[in-house]
Chain A
């Protein structure tokens, strides 16, 4: 690590003391909200370094940074992409990685989340990477774990998905340069999206003008005011001005819950079609997995302005940078 990078990665002063939704005297990655811009930039810089080593051909030189460290990936909610990305990052840094999906595991029969975590911690675990369907679970666990056991949020409810926002920002920065003053639209189901929330926090910290695009029924109340972003109900309004568009996955069951009338109407107003791509210079990101033909036309995935595969590659690099930072005390 370079001297300047090390400096930027120094522990941050405790912020919101004793709060349940963030932690203070510990080194965790729970939210982007609590992460200072300097730390974010430090992590993006380090991910650039790791990305170089991932792009190079030939066998990967395993690092010894996490030698002797045990990391448990605790995925209460399944996600092949994020889970695999964390596992690879942990192993490439020389750590021991164990993945547990409590729903499918006999370990957790009748146990509470807290019981599960205490049982695992007793086996000497250095960090937990936590994915859960309810907001606040990683922070809740951090509050109940000793300070030397770190927690990394791999997505909690509709709250945050910090590593996704970091990897998106790293790719945006690689493509657009300094992000200050850039215009980025986030399109889709904002209400139920942790990706949207982490992205809003992060992009605002880096000086980006963010516009949310979605039907009123998929925008949470006062979201513009809460996050300091613009809101639009039609994708056409952002095509010309946007430097990047982040499309979100639409959960098809939202339709049966009455949140939008039909897939056809959603695609009509919010889908990134090949025709729309011609009316914007924006690069296109999507956290995946894509509902092809709904959020994005089939042809867009392979378009040269599509960043989906780069995002996946960057995901590993960003998670390596995060792990390095977590253990760099």
Chain B
């Protein structure tokens, strides 16, 4: 693939690069020249000043294959990722069967081969995500797994969790937890707070997340030299716990989802089951704490927790409806509209959370915008105002509360692995 990107706003925080009016020549998928007013035989693509950033990476995506292909397949999920501005994603292991076995890892790798989007695989921490016996981590690592988690639920036993940390430490494997103290959340369908009190819906209290974040940080510190990553944090309590742990020098990282800094639990009144997530949407002061955490570096990454579900699994009562929403194709518009536009994060801080830090947490090779590097780029217009419509969705599922939502900031395209994807 040969391309000349004309008039780009290049932003690469890892290089301290922030330059407008730049041209980038890509020949055979490799960046060959960066400069002003370049002449090239390659096809010219005028970006009219749009931002070109190192390719975005989403650490928390549910692809549903194998086992639930009616919700999403690897192919449709990766296409949604490319359309949403991601050149790499990490898929979570709660498939059927779960990613507790190296054969499942190879199956997924085979299905993802040759795509624009790089697929990194998260294995389970325990066999079949049952929270009882350790998953075969050595075999999973050999098969290429970069992270482990029983996502969808937390490991309940502190004893099992201690052994997970100890065993994972031998492979320098990133340990990720979905932080939920299950004894406090049975039957819960939304955040416990004013809105759950008003609507009479069983509540999922913030402290049930904080407890597991605190437990895991303590265990990780006790075991020592282990990398812990708290998935999709949603409460002010967990932000404080991670901040304190980092202050003590603990090797802790964490992520938040776009919906957790955009919406409060009041969205349940407007969107019903489309606002049912796990962890649930929280309160205004949780959002404020998340924004502070993003600003001061407590929160390293933004990840979508893309969770496709068929319509019949959402169009039902709030107690039996499935948790989660698709997120790949709205993540960047939400980030630009709710973090960058109001000035909570600079463009370069935002790009760090979406591109640099996820790869750092996973110890993946860095992606940079410089000559001789492979072109791995996310291109977006941070100022374009537009309305997200159902027809925009490339994911196989359409479970999102954001249809009809107006955003400032739109993805233009992604370039990686010698492919380009132009979102329209």
Chain A residues within CB distance 8 Å of chain B: 16, 18-21, 112-114, 132-137, 140, 144, 157-160, 192-194, 197, 220-223, 225-227
Contacts and interface: CB of A to CB of B under 8 A. Distances in A.
B48 interface: no
A18 B270 contact: yes
Contact of A221 (B199, B203, B270, B316): B203
A137 B317 contact: yes
Contacts of A134: 317-320
Contacts of A225: 194
Question: What is the size category of the interface that chain B forms with chain A?
Answer: 20 to 34
Contacts of A226: 194, 197-198
Contacts of A222: 193-194, 197
A21 to B, nearest CB: 5
Contacts of A133: 319
A133 to B, nearest CB: 7
A19 B196 contact: no
A121 to B, nearest CB: 15
A112 B272 contact: no
Contacts of A16: 269
B318 A114 contact: no
B319 A140 contact: no
14 contacts: A19-B269, A20-B269, A21-B199, A112-B315, A114-B312, A114-B316, A135-B317, A157-B319, A160-B200, A192-B200, A220-B203, A221-B194, A221-B203, A225-B194
Contacts of A113: 316-317
Contacts, number: 73
B283 to A, nearest CB: 11
Nearest to A143: B272
A62 B250 CA distance: 77
Given A21-B199, A134-B320, A221 B193 contact: yes
Contact of B200 (A20, A112, A135): A135
Nearest to A139: B272
B151 interface: no
A197 B269 contact: no
A135 B199 contact: yes
**Residue from B270, B317, B319 having most chain A Cβ neighbours under 10 A:** B317
A162 B299 CA distance: 45
B275 to A, nearest CB: 9
B270 A20 contact: yes
Interface centre among A16, A132, A158, A194 (most CB of B within 10 A): A158
B203 A135 contact: no
Contacts of B270: 18-20
B200 A197 contact: yes
Contacts of A158: 200-201
A140 B199 contact: no
